A and B are shown apart, each in its own frame.
Chain A
Amino acid sequence: MARELPYIVAINEAIEFEMARDERVLYFGQNIATPSALEPFMDAFGGDRVRLTPISETAEIGMAVGAALAGLRPVVELYMSEFLLVAMDQVVNEAPRFHAMSGGQVKVPLVLKAGYGFTAGWAGQHTGSIYGMFMGVPGLKIALPSTAADAKGLMATSIRDDNPVCFFYHILLTLEHGEVPEGEYLVPFGVADVRRTGGDVTIVATGWMVDRALAAAERLAADGVEVEVIDPRTLAPLDTATILESVAKTGHLVLVDQATRHGGASAIIAAEVADQGFDSLRGPIKQITALDATIPYSEPMERFVIPDEDKIVAGVHEVLGSAPVAAKA
């Protein structure tokens, strides 16, 4: 049975389900949003497995690595993805390295749960969509849910995965409702979701941008342009096969990402398609991303930097060489 739940509740439901199912799962971090949000977990699973930490990111993530080496499955609440940067060594050069360096003797199953993309006046240090930089870290998996159901299913899969997983949840989506299956629900890693089918152009969108892309597709449909919208759902592993298949059908690719243009998911997907699907392309790949700038505080500048529906519609028209509706009229 599915019911309507907010995205954030869906994530919590997965953590709760997995904690009840597997006593090796731990949940800890600073505040865990607020102590009142932590209380149900405390009540259900006790202070051994649910703990509040000081503001000590290196120790929090490092301890998760150690607890994982010792056989547990920690979920660390990072609250803001930028706090991963405070402990970059642990995220990039510790957690994903031990399995490989030990020749497979040990594994480091842990989940780094981090909010991102808070483009609502949070200015330069709390708004980053920084997941792309982790795509270059072998051994680290990246989940990026855009719906409440995926949020639940990907969190459950993250916890069951034997590797370190960065689970990036979009802060602007936290209160968005969606249908969420009850009980055990897993969304596999490396399987993209084709959210809308269409034969004219392929849009690959991530996170918060998926809904913007779907809205843009709706508008484009009114102009007679049929857009296929793909949400990769996990960036590592990345389901390039589904993307290549779609591009083989449409011949056009537009990438929509809230992150920077350089060094991000969009650039990596563009490179994969150029490398493996060049023959399918009937025109240049278009990237609709945030501008390469620190996210400004002031609202008009903030809006200017990040992608939106209008920019997506314009981008699709550009790759198709078709004029926007206004110009036609």
Chain B
Amino acid sequence: MTGKDAEAKARPGVALDAQAALALLATMWRIRVFEERVGVLKRADEVYGLMHLSVGQEGVAAAICSQLDVADSVYSGHRAHGHAIAKGAPLNRIMAELMGRSDGLCRGFGGSMHLVDVEHGLMGATGVVGGNIPLALGSALATRLRGGKEVAVVFFGDGAVQAGHFNESINLASLWGLPVILVCENNGFAEFTPRSAHTNVERVSDVVAPYGLMRETVDGNDVAAVWEAFGRFLELARRGEGPLLLECLTYRLRGHYEGDPTQYREALAATEWQQRDPITRLARHGTAAGWFDAEDLERAEREARTEVEAAVGFARLSPYPDVELLEELVYAGRRKP
């Protein structure tokens, strides 16, 4: 199957240009500021439950979701805020969901780990590791049956790869040639433990090697590289080809969840990765290419801060949901007229 692999690589993707790069920068800042703000809100107990933040992983969400159409399906997991933002879910409603308010994406029912925004193609986020992978296969199958061009993209971490349902899904996706793009955000940690404690196989793209799907490993903190590789994959998937696996090597700049003492993290590695911050890197790259200047950069950050602050204000004013909502949500088909 190395032939198929080579084919995917030879096909040129759409190179990143000034306009797209600036849009990516804006998205990454919105995610970064949003996540940092959630961290603060968590310490103030304004958001409820467990918060898994994606600071440091913004590049993957931005470069991938920004190339998708609204009708394309995205499935995420417990670390979903970045994917939701990049896929176009309104910040106001994400923040309201995190505060458990009635204007939240899921009307306060789902919370951080279960963000869904069907209107923007965010089809679901599951709190059980790898549980979203077979779901994305189902979406891809539905698209094929309907003869559509939509693709299904599923984000998961490297920890999910050791779960049995990952292998079950890979076999089926490969056997049926489903147009699904599996995006593994390999941050080197499954929850709290390093990948080496979970498997002998360092690269996720090697785990799927026996199944012959098109696969590539990229530096997930190099936004231009993710953009370019995903663009190629997307074109293939649009033509009904698949499955494809894009492994993005990345790094969480925060613990597994907010408040996680992160003792398991080697401080040195963290410092090193801080320098690999995807936002800083794109800013450097784009400035050198003449795509944007200091003012553009400053504006992207400023606008993100304004927007996130507005979302916090919006969420704080949103009422808590009425408990009657519960009855409506136990079974489908009971929505009140």
**Are B114 and A86 in contact, CB atoms less than 8 angstroms apart?**
no
Q: Which A residues touch B263, using CB under 8 A? A: 34-36
A193 contacts B by Cβ under 8 Å: no
Q: In chain A, what residue has the closest Cβ to B260?
A: A34
Number of A-B contacts (CB under 8 A): 131
A-side contacts of B325, CB under 8 Å = 296, 301
- The closest CB in chain A to the CB of B320 belongs to A300
Contacts of B48 in A (CB 8 A): 120-121, 297-299
Contact bitstring B249-272, A, C-beta under 8 A = 1, else 0: 000000000001101100000000
Residues on the B chain within 8 Å of A82, using CB: 128
- CB neighbors of A among B84-131 (8 A): 97, 100-101, 104, 106, 108-114, 126-130
Assess whether A23 is interfacial by the CB under 8 Å rule.
no
Cβ distance B124 to chain A, nearest Cβ, rounded Å: 12
Are the C-beta atoms of A293 and B329 separated by less than 8 Å? yes
Taking a contact as CB atoms under 8 Å apart, the answer to whether B110 and A297 are in contact is yes
Q: Is B321's CB within 8 Å of the partner chain A?
A: yes
Which of B192, B199, B321 has the most chain A CB atoms inside 10 A of its CB?
Answer: B192
Complex contact A298–B108 (CB within 8 A) = yes
Instruction: Write the nearest CB–CB distance from A214 to chain B, whole angstroms.
Output: 26
Q: Which residues of B contact A31 (CB under 8 A)?
A: 191-193
- Which segment of B147-155, B160-168, B294-302 sits at the interface? B160-168
- Asked whether B108 lies within 8 Å of A301 as measured between CB atoms, the reply is yes
A301 surroundings in chain B (CB, below 8 A): 100, 108-109, 320-321, 323, 325-326
Q: Is the CB of A52 within 8 A of B197?
A: yes
A9-43, CB < 8 A from B = 30-31, 34-36
Partner of A55, one of B163, B320, B321: B163
Chain A proximity of B199: nearest CB distance (Å): 6
| Set A55, A123, A299: member contacting B114, Cβ < 8 A | A123
Q: Are A125 and B159 in contact (CB under 8 A)?
A: no
Is the beta-carbon distance between A55 and B49 smaller than 8 angstroms? Answer: no
Interface size bucket, B side? 35 or more
**Quick check: B109 and A298 within 8 Å, CB to CB?**
yes
> How many whole Å from A274's CB to the nearest CB in chain B?
26
Chain B, range 186-205, C-beta contacts under 8 Å to A: 190-193, 197-199
Given contacts A52-B193, A54-B162, contact A299 B129 (CB under 8 A): no
Q: Cα distance A292–B331 when bound, in Å?
A: 11
Which chain B residue lies CB-closest to A58? Answer: B164
* Given contacts A297-B109, A304-B326, A122 and B50 within 8 Å (CB-CB): yes
Residues 188 to 214 of chain A near chain B (Cβ within 8 Å): none
B1 adjacent to chain A (CB < 8 Å): no
CA distance A300 to B102 in the complex (A): 11
Does B330 count as interface, using CB distance less than 8 angstroms?
yes
Collect the chain B residues with CB atoms within 8 Å of residue A122's CB.
49-50, 111, 113
Q: Which residues in A have their C-beta under 8 angstroms from that of B162?
A: 54-56
Expressed in whole angstroms, the Cα–Cα distance for A54 and B161 within the complex equals 9
Residues of A within 8 Å of B198, CB to CB, are: 53-55
The reply to whether A300 and B192 contact each other, CB–CB distance below 8 Å, is no
CB <8 Å contact, B192 and A35: yes
Which residues of A, 60-86, contact B by the 8 Å Cβ criterion?
A: 82-83, 86
Is A160 an interface position by the 8 A CB rule? no
CB distance from A217 to the nearest CB of B (A): 27
- For B113, the chain A residues whose CB sits under 8 A away are 122-123, 125-126
Cβ–Cβ < 8 Å partners of B329 in chain A? 293-294, 296
Residues of A within 8 A of B104 (CB): 298
A267 at the interface (CB under 8 A from B): no
- The interface centre, meaning the residue of B49, B106, B108, B261 with most chain A CB atoms within 10 A of its CB, is B49
Find out whether the CB atom of B114 lies under 8 angstroms from the CB atom of A297: yes
Q: Is B110's CB under 8 angstroms from A124's CB?
A: yes
Which one of A57, A298, A305 lies within 8 Å of B111 (CB-CB)?
A: A298
Task: Write the nearest CB–CB distance from A262 to chain B, whole angstroms.
Answer: 12
What's the minimum C-beta distance from A125 to chain B, rounded to whole angstroms? Answer: 4
Q: Which of A257-304 contact B (CB under 8 A)?
A: 291-294, 296-301, 304
Which residue in chain A gives the minimum CB-CB distance to B192? A31
| Pair B50/A54 contact, Cβ less than 8 Å | no
Is the pair B111, A123 in contact by a Cβ cutoff of 8 Å? yes
Picked from A30, A123, A305, the residue with its CB within 8 Å of the CB of B127 is A123
Known: A34-B263, A121-B48, A121-B49. A297 touches B320 (CB 8 A): no
Chain A min CB distance to B110 (Å) = 6
Bound: A114/B100 CA distance, A? 27
Given A30-B191, A82-B128, A298-B100, A293–B326 Cβ distance below 8 Å?
yes
Contact of B49 among A52, A291, A292, A297 (CB under 8 A): A297
In the assembled complex, the Cα of A123 lies from the Cα of B111 at a distance in Å of 6
Q: Is A59 an interface residue (CB 8 A)?
A: yes
Question: What mask results when residues 107 to 140 of chain A are scored 1 for a CB within 8 Å of chain B, else 0?
Answer: 0000000000000111111100000000000000
Q: In the complex, what distance in Å separates the CA atom of A55 from the CA atom of B162?
A: 6
The 5 closest A-B pairs by CB, nearest first: A121-B49, A297-B111, A298-B100, A298-B108, A121-B48
Known: A120-B49, A123-B111, A294-B330. 15 other contacts (CB 8 A): A30-B190, A35-B263, A52-B193, A54-B163, A54-B198, A121-B100, A122-B111, A123-B112, A124-B109, A126-B113, A291-B326, A293-B329, A297-B48, A297-B49, A298-B100
Jot down 7 A-B pairs with beta carbons below 8 A, ordered by A. Answer: A30-B190, A35-B263, A36-B263, A124-B109, A297-B108, A297-B114, A298-B111
Interface residues of chain B, those whose CB is within 8 Å of chain A, are 48-50, 97, 100-101, 104, 106, 108-114, 126-130, 159-160, 162-164, 190-193, 197-199, 260-261, 263-264, 320-321, 323, 325-327, 329-330
